[in-house]
Amino acid sequence: MGSNLFDKKKGKDNNINEFENNENIITIEKGKRKAIVIIGIVLLLIGGVGILFLAPSKNEKNSQPLSYKNTYYINADSNYKVYMLPNKTLGKEWLGEKYLYPVKLTDYIEIYFRSNVFLKENIKLSGTYSISAVINGYQTDEESRLNVYEKKFPLKSGRIDKEKRKNVSIKESLSINPKEYKKIIDSAETEIGGSTLNDFYILFEGKYIFDSKEYPFSYKVSINIDDETFYSVTKPKTIIKKGGIGEPINKKTLSNIKSYIPYILFCLIGIVAIVFTLLRTKTKEKSEEELWDLKLNNIIKKYGNRMICLKNMPEIIEKNILKLDDIESMIILSEEIRKPIFYALGVNLLPDKGEFYVFGEKYVYMFKVE
């Protein structure tokens, strides 16, 4: 019987392996899962660092010029020349810029003002402008300038009719006789009873109106008439204003976006790897309790028709128990001695404590699922 028993057992090795394999019903082994999670984290880090590296900093964003569908460019400038009274010393009818002009020989100063606005695209554009002579009398102390009086004399003005266009030019010229304004200063000082320092300048100012907004400009040519011997004229550099009209356009080009793609892919692959490994039920290892229940379920499913379920197992003397290594040995034994297999019903309708018994003439044979 013994030889027969072990021959039958040997022929059923594959069935024994089936239960051993049930202990590791895992789609991905624990070690491999850890490796995949680590790789996923590394890919996320590479992708995140790459995106942060490519993304412009706050200072870079501020330094990058914005792009607009339509833009404007406004300037204001001037030229002047000084006409002289007939004389033998200078031998010229007029003098250009950057000279000192003798008070005794100066007749008048001719100033040419101009301003332009240029647009990238046609738009409804209008505006106004004016030219004024301004005298400002003041005094100074150690720290500040204190105004005494100001007189403003309108000289010219004009309007720009509203039309759809891309550019507009303003051109005006006028003659200034410094001696006339010097008389006004002398009269004001006589009236106030004291002398002042004086600023005298010709102010060219205006505004362009487009896109429902006003774009002002201001430009002045200063003439020093306090000196009793020479006049001098000072003009600033060309005044320039420029900018965009409307909302800025996103300047990100296709090439800029393409540079992000590899790092975005790294992040996506990393996330998918981590989520797939950690959350999919097929990738989870069975707990010991789940594996234990699974073993019992498989035994009952396969051999239940050869077993008898008892409500309670009778008391068994320990010294008469022979323990078997596996359920296959018990099945073969049961067939050889023609005795049924018993188990008591426990929790989850499974064999109590995972124990199975065969009652022989002298011994009780037991197999326990660990």
Tens-place pLDDT, residues 206-243: 999 998 899 999 999 999 999 889 999 999 999 999 99
Could you count the other beta carbons within 10 Å of the beta carbon of residue 127? Answer: 22
State mean pLDDT over 80-88: 95
Average pLDDT value for the chain: 83
Q: Which residue has the higher pLDDT, 148 or 289?
A: 148
Three-class SS state of 74: strand
Beta-bridge partner residues of 367: 356
Q: Which of 23, 46, 79 is nearest to 271 (CA)?
A: 46
pLDDT at residue 199, as a whole number? 95
Three-class SS state of 20: helix
Distance CA 368, CA 63 (A): 77
State mean pLDDT over 60-66: 56
pLDDT tens sequence across 93-106: 999 999 999 999 99
Q: Which amino acid is at 303?
A: Y
Q: Count Cβ atoms within 10 A of the Cβ of residue 31 and give its class: 0-12 exposed, 13-18 middle, 19 or more buried.
A: exposed
Residues 6 or more apart whose CB falls under 8 angstroms from that of 120 comprise 68, 69, 70, 71, 72, 166
pLDDT at residue 342, as a whole number? 93
Indicate the range of 236-245, 266-275, 340-349, 360-369 predicted with least confidence.
266-275
Domains of the chain, by residue range, sit at 2-25+286-368, 26-64+251-284, 70-245
Could you count the other beta carbons within 10 Å of the beta carbon of residue 230? Answer: 15
**pLDDT of 296 higher than 70:** yes
pLDDT at residue 55, as a whole number? 65
Distance CA 174, CA 109 (A): 8
pLDDT at residue 43, as a whole number? 80
Distance CA 368, CA 353 (A): 8
**pLDDT of 148 higher than 70:** yes
pLDDT at residue 255, as a whole number? 46
Alpha helices in 58-167 (DSSP H): 58-63
**pLDDT of 10 higher than 50:** no
By percentage, how much of the chain surpasses pLDDT 90?
A: 48
Tokens 């789609």 belong to which residue? 27
pTM confidence score: 0.55
pLDDT at residue 286, as a whole number? 55
State mean pLDDT over 117-124: 92
pLDDT tens sequence across 238-255: 999 999 888 777 655 444
Q: β-strands 213-224, 355-359: how paired?
A: unpaired
**pLDDT of 281 higher than 90:** no
Q: How confident is the model at residue 361 (pLDDT cuts 50, 70, 90)?
A: confident
Residues 6 or more apart whose CB falls under 8 angstroms from that of 316 comprise 357, 364
State mean pLDDT over 34-61: 72
State mean pLDDT over 45-51: 78
Cα angle vertex 222, ends 219, 228, to 5°? Answer: 170
State mean pLDDT over 338-365: 89
